Structures are given as C-alpha cells and as structure tokens.
C-alpha cells in the first residue's frame, strides 16, 4: 500500500484464485446500487408526505470501495469481540467436472473466470456459501448443491459455542479468525452437521487439507489425529 500525490491510499494485492473468488463475491454482493427514498422537496428522509426514489449516484468503483470497507468494519468488530461471528462467508458458484471431484484432475471455475485447483475448491466448500455444480459428459449438470447442505448461521453458532476457536492442537485463534471445516469432506459424502464440523483457523484449515488429517468430534470438543492421509479420499486426491 502507498499514498498517492492527492493524499489518497492505493492498495494493490496479488491473491490466490480461491481467496480472490471469495473477495470478489463478497464485494460484488455488497456493491449493488442503493436507491434512497426522500421527500419530494428534497429535504431528506421521507415522513408522511409525498416521496420519491433517488438513484444511487456513486460510481461502480465507489460502491465497491464502500462494500470493502463495510466488510473490514464488520470483521474488525468480530475480531474485537464486539459482534458474534455467526455470519456466513461469501456465496460462490463453482463448476467442476466429475473427474476433478473424484480424482483431483483439473479444477473448478467461478462465473468470473477464476480457476481453483481441486484442493482449493474443497477448502472453500467448508465455510464459504459454496454452490457446487458437478458436471459430466459435455458439461451436463450431474448435481447442483443446495445452500442447506452448507454451513448455516445456526450451525456455525453451535460450532463456535462448542469449539471456542481453532481446534488444531496448540492453536489459540479465536472464532473470528476461523472457518468451519467438514471433518469428512462433502465431496466424500460428509454431511453438514454439528458432528461433522470442526473450527479451524485459515492456516490450519489449509494444513488439514494439505496433509489429510482427520478429527474425532465429540459433544464436548474435537480431537485431531495428525497421521497424514487419514481424511477420506485424500490418498487418491492430494489437496
């Protein structure tokens, strides 16, 4: 980041495709025009008199910048303990063929053209509101996931209450810095349920998928088996 000649700050970032897809989806969702309702005399918010709708005069760039700041402000409140981290991540539509899903050959594509490798797609499936579309043959949809299969606000809240933060041995990251991990991956038949969920910080979420670690979920917490390759399907699909 740096300061321009006009005193503004310019931010430049290079992100991995998986992170870029989440960021783009989140900013896009919050950057739609927001028309305002005002009194016909232009005096401000409407009361009991006649009203009219005024278009959002912000440029697309300004709307995206405002959306980014709202995301940062919300995240800062969670990190400071001023808000409960029970919300969901950005909604992402991914398309991938059956071979990529079962054998790890190839990857997944977002509507904006970002290409994610199979491992990144599986990690995103844990906590982002991912809508996976599995294709077979000449791009024929075989299965399109439903949002109900993913982590809901209520389920995330229950996982937060049980785990209290990252469950990886020795990690103390709080819930605001964590994601909900499917212990048995959804692509391997795992359900979206409290007994198949474990809270992990971003760093350890990547480690778990990379090495294929497996966990045992109990009503009072999560215990990890750090033997590589125990995750179902990991021997055939390297994350």
Mean pLDDT, residues 125-144 taken together:
52
What pLDDT, on the 0 to 100 scale, is given for residue 216?
95
Whether residue 8 lies inside any domain: the answer is: no
Shared domain for 116 and 179, answered yes or no, is yes
How many structural domains compose the chain?
A: 2
Share of the chain above pLDDT 90, in %: 15
Shared domain for 72 and 95, answered yes or no, is no
Shared domain for 157 and 215, answered yes or no, is yes
Shared domain for 194 and 111, answered yes or no, is yes
Whether residue 155 lies inside any domain: the answer is: yes
Shared domain for 141 and 77, answered yes or no, is no
Mean confidence (pLDDT) of the chain: 75
Q: How confident is the model at residue 45 (pLDDT cuts 50, 70, 90)?
A: very low
Whether residue 24 lies inside any domain: the answer is: no
Shared domain for 75 and 117, answered yes or no, is no
> The dihedral of CA 1, 30, 91, 149: what is its sign?
positive
More confident residue, 41 or 195: 195
* Residue numbers of the domain that contains 181: 91-225
Whether residue 102 lies inside any domain: the answer is: yes
Whether residue 220 lies inside any domain: the answer is: yes
Burial 87-110 (b: 16+ CB within 10 A, else e): ebbbbbbbbbbeebbeebeebbbb
What pLDDT, on the 0 to 100 scale, is given for residue 226?
92
């Amino acid at each position: 980041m740096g300061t321009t000649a006009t005193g503004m700050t310019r931010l430049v970032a290079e992100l991995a495709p998986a992170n870029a897809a989440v960021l783009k989806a989140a900013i896009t969702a919050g950057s739609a025009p927001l028309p305002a309702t005002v009194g016909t005399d232009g005096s401000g918010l409407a009361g009991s008199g006649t009203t009219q709708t005024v278009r959002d005069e912000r440029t697309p760039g300004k709307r995206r910048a405002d959306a980014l700041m709202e995301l940062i402000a919300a995240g800062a409140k969670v990190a400071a303990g001023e808000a409960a981290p029970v919300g969901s991540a950005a909604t992402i539509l991914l398309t991938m063929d059956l071979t990529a899903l079962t054998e790890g050959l190839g990857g997944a594509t977002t509507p904006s053209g970002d290409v994610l490798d199979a491992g990144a797609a599986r990690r995103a499936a844990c906590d982002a509101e991912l809508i996976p579309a599995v294709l077979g043959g000449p791009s024929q949809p075989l299965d399109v996931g439903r949002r109900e299969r993913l982590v809901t606000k209520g389920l995330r809240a229950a996982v937060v209450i049980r785990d209290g933060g990252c469950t990886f041995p020795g990690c103390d990251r709080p819930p605001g810095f964590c994601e909900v991990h499917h212990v048995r991956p959804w692509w391997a038949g795992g359900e979206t349920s409290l007994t198949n969920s474990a809270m992990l910080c971003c760093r350890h979420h990547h480690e778990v998928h990379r090495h294929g670690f497996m966990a045992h979920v109990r009503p009072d917490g999560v215990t990890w088996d750090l033997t590589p390759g125990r995750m179902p399907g990991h021997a055939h699909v390297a994350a």
